[in-house]
């Protein structure tokens, strides 16, 4: 199940490439939790949300949808690109997987094309790391040089202001830093 109003690239892979591989998608207005509950099917395995959504900036109540997902045994995934971990902490609200395009606010200067995935548990992280390694989706040396100093700043800033872990993880390693 996927938020109705997701980033176009997400919509495109779901409705073309992944569909060819047999993945079925139910699009739902996740800003209305009752609709999420109603749309769960027997074969639903995961809930993927984006909030605020792109382009309509709809807001999903993350706690409410995590509660629904847990009751139905669904994996929870969120694209947290717009808010960044400074403003929205999905892992703390119970999400399993958080995706960021670091090209936007995390990169901050329109000079980086990068993305990262943070997982709540190590087992899922290792599975994703295997896929990343198999596909070769890594930052090249120029991207690493741009990302590494900002990564340090981000981890340091979170550490001192929140006194806890960095949900952004590491832009460079793509792993969660505690
Ligand atoms: C919410 C969201 N997620 C992901 C992406 C994809 O980002 P990238 O350009 O880093 O592939 C975008 C791009 O606009 C976006 O708005």
Number of domains in the chain: 1
Respond yes or no on whether the N-terminal peptide bond of residue 52 is cis (omega within 30° of 0).
yes
Average pLDDT over residues 35-50: 98
The verdict on residue 146 lying in a domain is no
Ligand 1 center to residue 57 CA distance, Å? 14
Residues in the chain: 178
Q: Which value, to the nearest 10 degrees, does the dihedral of the CA atoms of residues 129, 65, 52, 45 take?
A: 40
Instruction: Determine whether the shortest distance from the Cβ of 54 to ligand 1 is under 6 A.
Output: yes
| 177 has a pLDDT exceeding 70 | no
- Give the model's confidence band at 171: pLDDT under 50 very low, under 70 low, under 90 confident, else very high: low
CA 35 to chain centre: 21
Q: Is residue 147 part of a domain?
A: no
Distance 82 CA to ligand 1 centre (A): 9
Alpha-carbon gap, residue 104 to 97, rounded angstroms: 19
CATH number at residue 48: 3.40.640.10
> Sorting pLDDT into bands at 50, 70 and 90, what band is 155?
low
Q: Binning pLDDT at 50, 70 and 90, where does residue 172 land?
A: low
SS3 content of the chain, % helix, strand, coil (to 5): 40, 15, 45
- Does residue 32 lie within any of the structural domains? yes
Q: Sorting pLDDT into bands at 50, 70 and 90, what band is 52?
A: very high
- Specify the residue with its C-alpha closest to ligand 1, atom 11: 101
Q: Is residue 66 part of a domain?
A: yes
Domain presence at residue 76 = yes
The tokens for 90 are: 């999905």
- What average pLDDT does this structure show over 147-153? 77
Q: Are 87 and 37 in contact (CB under 8 A)?
A: no
pLDDT at 176 over 90: no
Residue 10 lies in a domain: yes
Tell me: the pLDDT tens digits for 92-142? Answer: 999 999 999 999 999 888 888 999 999 999 999 999 999 999 999 888 888
Percent of the chain with pLDDT over 70: 86
Q: Indicate if ligand 1 lies below 6 Å from the C-beta of 84.
A: no
Q: Write down the pLDDT at residue 175.
A: 44
Task: Tell me the pLDDT of the chain averaged across its residues.
Answer: 88
**Containing structural domain, residue 77:** 2-136
Ligand 1, from 3, 4, 7, 57: best to mutate by most atoms within 8 Å of Cβ?
7
51 C-alpha to ligand 1 centroid (Å): 13
pLDDT of residue 156: 62
Given a cut of 90, is residue 43 above it in pLDDT? yes
Full DSSP string of 120-178: SSHHHHHHHHHHHHHHT----HHHHHHHHHHHHHHHHHHHHHHSS-BTT--TTT-S-B-
Q: Full-prediction pTM beyond 0.85? A: yes
Of ligand 1's atoms, which has the minimum distance to the CA of residue 82? 1
Tell whether 130 is covered by a domain.
yes
Q: What one-character DSSP code corresponds to residue 116?
A: E
How much distance in Å is there from the Cα of 42 to the middle of ligand 1?
A: 30
Residues contacting 113, CB < 8 A, separation 6+: 103, 143
Instruction: Indicate whether 159 belongs to any domain.
Output: no
């Amino acid at each position: 199940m996927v938020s109705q109003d997701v980033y176009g690239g997400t919509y495109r892979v779901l409705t073309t490439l992944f569909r060819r591989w047999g993945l079925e998608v139910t699009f739902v207005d996740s800003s209305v939790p009752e609709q999420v509950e109603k749309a769960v099917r027997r074969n639903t395995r995961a809930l993927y949300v984006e909030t605020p959504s792109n382009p309509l900036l709809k807001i999903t109540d993350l706690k409410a949808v995590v509660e629904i997902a847990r009751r139905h045994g669904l994996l929870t995934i969120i694209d947290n690109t717009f808010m960044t971990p400074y403003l929205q902490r999905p892992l703390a609200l119970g999400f399993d997987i958080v995706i960021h395009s670091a090209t936007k606010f995390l990169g901050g200067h329109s000079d980086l094309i990068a993305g990262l995935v943070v997982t709540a548990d190590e087992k899922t992280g290792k599975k994703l790391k295997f896929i990343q390694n198999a596909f070769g989706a890594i930052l090249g040396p120029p991207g690493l040089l741009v990302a590494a100093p900002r990564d340090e700043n981000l981890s340091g800033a979170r550490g001192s202001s929140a006194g806890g872990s960095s949900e952004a993880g590491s832009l460079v390693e793509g792993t969660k830093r505690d």
